Structures are given as C-alpha cells and as structure tokens.
Structure 1
Amino acid sequence: MSPSKRLFVFDFDWTLIDADSDYFVFEHLSAELSKIQLDSIGKVQWTDLQQRLLGELFDRGVSREDIERTLASIPFAPERIEALKLMKEQGSDLYILSDANTVYIETVLKAYNIDHLFTGIITNPASFDSRGRLNVTRYHGLDKQPHQCPLPCEPNLCKGLELQKLIDSHPWEQVVYMGDASNDFCPSTRLSRERDDLVLARRGLSLETRIKERPELVKAEIVFWQDAQDVLEITRDIFFGRNRTGVAFLGSSLGSTAASSTTSLSTMVESSSSASSAVDSLSIDEVKTSSQVLSAVESSDSKMFAQAVKA
C-alpha cells in the first residue's frame, strides 16, 4: 500500500491530548466559572456556553497571554507525538476533527511544535479580538439548516458529514479514525472494511459503549486503546505489521475481552440518540439557573467531566 494514500483523522480532547481543553482552561483560570461550566452540562449548548464563559473570563481580567500559557501546559504524551511523526514520515495526511476550537487546538499544537504535521483542522472557529477577548462560534451555525444527523452528533458539528467530505476528496487506500466520545460514533460508521479502514476507540469511554450497542453500524475493523503507548504500538503495527497484542480485542460476541495477537478484529458497538437544538441567549446568571434540557447526548456526553475523570 502506498503510504501517501493513508488518511488519519483524530478527535482532540481525550484522544490526542490527555485533557478536555474547554474544561482545562476554566479549571486553571477561574474556579467559579469552572463550576458554572460543569453545572451547565446538559442545560446550554456547549459551544454557546464557552462563548459566554470566555466573555466572563475576559471581564475578570484574564488576558490572551493567560489563556495561551494555560493551553501550552495541557499534557500531550510524547508517545502520541512520536506516533504522529511516524504517520507523517510515512507520507500520511493528518487531520483533526474536534468539537473544541481553532485557538485551543492550534495553540497546543504550536506549544509542542507539531502544528506542521497536520494537513487541516476541522473545528469550531475561534479568534481573539483587538481587546484580547477570545470568541468562539459554532462550526455549524444557527444560520444554517440543522444537519439532522440521526446519530449522536452535537448540533454544531456532525463529524460524520465532515469525515465523509475528506473521504470523498481523494482515493484513499486506507482511512483511520481515532476518538473516544459519543460524537465520534458517527464518523466511525463512515468507514469501510473493503478499504481496510480502522476505528481506534479509546477503551472505557462512550465511543466503546456506543460501538458495542450498535455493532452493525460500524463496518471497519475496530482496535481499542487505553493510553499513548498503545497508540504508538498500533501506529507501528499499521506501517510495519507488528502484532496488536494487549491492545486489540477480538470476539464475535459483544462481551469478549480476550486479548488477541491477530490482526483480524470483529466489529462491536451502540444505541443512537438524536442531537438537538437551538439555544436562547442567556446571561451568566441565567446559565446558572437554566432548566433548559438538551438531548440525551449533550446531557450525558457533551464534554462530560465524569468521562474525563475516567480517562
């Protein structure tokens, strides 16, 4: 297989980095706003919430330099960086497909001097204004018709649609998607076994759960991973044929947990629920007391801190 024909697409939070970038910023810069952020899960659309809280952060005197310095301290495991460099050295195209934002992702990548490894970043647009206030907007805005994906995608971003655009843009010989959360399930369903595609799902988080609930929707081979060393070993296996012992899990039954050294893995995975929904303009006080409930996906999985603790 020609290495120039491979496409790697990555989620960002709890996949490339060992943190949730949205939570990390507020945890380190404002304990009060961090609590509001956690208390608002499932009550306000996540990207809209970040925009409002970033305004509060600016009003409290937090500067652009404070945000950038905090982002630069987010942990990025050296084994993952080694894996990314290997992918690039082998001529692959690397993309990030994330519900974070451009400023967060680009700042972290530059801090670790790996921004040049990526062909593109698909995420919510963000920028600092002339005062140093960070603004974030939805990738799929309220000015557009809802994407109407029936799978658990956030209303601001259907990762499956965006991955499909990348797949259709070139005659790839292999596509590899790596993620951890419920909104990584939709892109996982866009891959093909005939093309030897791979889904790299982080073990113990909601992508694994969803795959096991709806295995018939995921056609590609699935490899579960737990940490950065696993990612590096899987990457070496993709290019050099090493065994996936202790990383991949094989079984025709969904309950199988036996470690396998084979490179033939069966599919396993999950029930879908619909994403929602337009959100009214709320002040910070309204955010604190809002009773508006979004979809089950956003309530249980949209940047869920409980999920982050498990990773």
Structure 2
Amino acid sequence: MASEIVIIFDFDRTLIDDDSDRWVIKGMGLTHLFNQLRPILSWTSLMDRMVKELHSQGRTVKDIAECLKGVPLHQRTAAAIKSAHALGCDLKVVSDANKFYIETILKHHGLYDCFSEIITNPTLVDEHGRLQIFPYNDLASPHGCHLCPSNMCKGIVIKRIQASIAPHREAKFIYLGDGNGDFCPILKLGKGDRALPRKHYPLWELIRSNQEFVEAEVHEWCNGEELEHILLALIDRISGEDIKKAPVDESR
C-alpha cells in the first residue's frame, strides 16, 4: 500500500515571506499602539486588540483584507503547493496566525482549495462588523507544553493528525517551518518523515543545536525556489520508495 504524503506548512515566514500579523500592524498604522501594549498582552490577545482598534477607527474587515493581499508569497512556493496538491498529497496549514488572515491570503493567491485543513487561531466577524481573534487553545485549560506559546501547542496538533491517520493508512509527513513554535512538532516526527526548516531562522538554529532529539530527515531551504525544488524532490523520492516496496505479482 502506498504511503499517504501529508505536508504541513507553517504560515508566517514559511508559506508567506513575511509575518501576517506584523504586516497588518505596520500597513494599517498600528505600530505605536502595538509597542505600547506588547509588554502587557499575550500575542493573540494583542492581535485581537489591534483589530478592535481598527474597528474603532472605522476601518472595515474589507480594509484588512485589502492590506493582507499585499503580503509577499513567492511564486515558486505557490507553484510547489499547486504541484504537491496535484500529485495527491494532503496539504495542511498549522499556524499561530489566525483563520481570517490565512484564508484571505490563500484565496487571493488561488491556493485555498489546495489545503484540506487550516489549524490556527479562530476568528469571527461579529454583528457590528468587527473581526475578533481567539486563541486556539482555551487558556483556562493549559496544554502543558513548555516549548510552545500558551495559545497553541503545534506538537499536540501534529499528534492528533498522526493519530487520525494511523488506524487507517500509512503516512509520511513533511513539515515546513521557521520559528520556535515549530520545534515541538518537529520532535513528534519519526524516522520516515522529513523536516524542512528555513535556513538561518530560529527553527533551523534549534534543530542544529538539538540534532540528537530530531528523528526526521532534515532538509534546509532559503527561498521559494529551494522550497519548490526540495519539496517536489522529496515527494518523488517518497513515491519511489513506495514503488520499490510494492509486492511483485509473480502470477504474470
């Protein structure tokens, strides 16, 4: 039986080439307020406070969406995503950004339908038209992971995905990330999986400093061209490994 290939993307500075939260803060003139509140609010609460401020200024959800459409996404990254999807891989986003920002950007670039699941901080637009951002993890019920921020443990998310697949079929995981919060899920990968840290970013440094704890095969990348080349080569290699393992029909 061929292995399913599950590709998990972090979002900020991995799938896109910037930070979506900071893009809105800077692009919509919130830097001063952000700097004032940063020391006293958790990140997700701070992002919710930022969009609340925009609403109080008369800025709409549509205005935020227009700002997000300018976030840089490398054309080769987009091509890699489309190719991986066309090859039958199961693509997911696991991110500490938020649902509205991620969906807006993916839809703008025609990539939304390539992903089977987006796991991130939820959002809603209330009856007054204000965007609200909530933590993925209920802060009243701590997840207990010292490696991850209080609102989301990506390691727990990865274990849930692995458990949902394991009873039914074999899967090989490819995880692409850049930040400190991506180290915990990397530790949940096994020897048949691949970790793709962005070179010279915090995740890359953490893996280099803790190689003895990482079972997955590591492939570093710098930009969209390298991401596309490495990702598609790995998909081809994993598919080739499955062909070699397939039983030979000797009745012919």
Normalising by structure 2, we get a TM-score of 0.89
1:212 is matched by which residue type in structure 2?
A: R
Match of 2:42 among 45, 49, 57: 45
Pairwise CA distance, 1:203: 0.5
Counterpart in the other structure of 1:102: 99
* Structure 1 counterpart SS, 2:93: strand
2:189 is matched by which residue type in structure 1?
A: L
Pairwise CA distance, 1:124: 0.3
More helix by share: 2
Pairwise CA distance, 1:85: 1.0
In structure 2, distance between residues paired with 1:216 and 1:172? 25
In structure 2, distance between residues paired with 1:63 and 1:126? 15
Query: CA offsets per residue over residues 129-183 of structure 1, 9 Å max, x none?
Result: 122211001100223x211113x20100000000111011113331011000000
Match of 1:205 among 190, 201, 205: 201
1:156 is matched by which residue type in structure 2?
A: N
Pairwise CA distance, 1:75: 1.2
Counterpart in the other structure of 2:55: 58
1:134 and 2:137 matched: no
- Residue pairs, 1:291-306, within 5 angstroms: none
Counterpart in the other structure of 1:238: 234
Structure 2: 5+ residue runs without aligned partners? 239-252
CA contact (8 A) 2:98 2:123 kept: yes
1:160 and 2:168 matched: no
Counterpart in the other structure of 1:27: 26
1:97 is matched by which residue type in structure 2?
A: V
Counterpart in the other structure of 2:244: none
Shift of the 42–181 alpha-carbon distance from structure 1 to 2, 3 Å rule, reads farther
In structure 2, distance between residues paired with 1:42 and 1:164? 32
In structure 2, distance between residues paired with 1:118 and 1:172? 19
In structure 1, distance between residues paired with 2:157 and 2:210? 21
* Structure 2 counterpart SS, 1:15: helix
Counterpart in the other structure of 1:9: 8
Pairwise CA distance, 1:107: 0.5
Query: CA offsets per residue over residues 172-201 of structure 1, 9 Å max, x none?
Result: 3310110000000000000000xx200000
Shift of the 134–188 alpha-carbon distance from structure 1 to 2, 3 Å rule, reads same
1:187 is matched by which residue type in structure 2?
A: P
- Residue pairs, 1:106-185, within 5 angstroms: 106-143=103-140, 145-150=141-146, 152-170=147-165, 171-185=169-183
* Structure 1 counterpart SS, 2:16: coil
Query: CA offsets per residue over residues 48-84 of structure 1, 9 Å max, x none?
Result: 1111121111101111111011111211111011111
Structure 1: 5+ residue runs without aligned partners? 243-311
In structure 1, distance between residues paired with 2:211 and 2:64? 40
Normalising by structure 1, we get a TM-score of 0.72
Pairwise CA distance, 1:41: 4.2
Shift of the 59–106 alpha-carbon distance from structure 1 to 2, 3 Å rule, reads same
Counterpart in the other structure of 2:245: none
Length, aligned pairs only: 235
2:6 is matched by which residue type in structure 1?
A: L
Counterpart in the other structure of 1:253: none
Match of 1:191 among 189, 205, 211: 189
Shift of the 43–146 alpha-carbon distance from structure 1 to 2, 3 Å rule, reads same
In structure 2, distance between residues paired with 1:174 and 1:59? 47
Pairwise CA distance, 1:2: 2.9
Query: CA offsets per residue over residues 14-48 of structure 1, 9 Å max, x none?
Result: 00001100010121111xx2233245445421001
Pairwise CA distance, 1:113: 1.2
* Structure 1 counterpart SS, 2:197: strand
Shift of the 135–2 alpha-carbon distance from structure 1 to 2, 3 Å rule, reads same
Moved over 6 A (4+): none
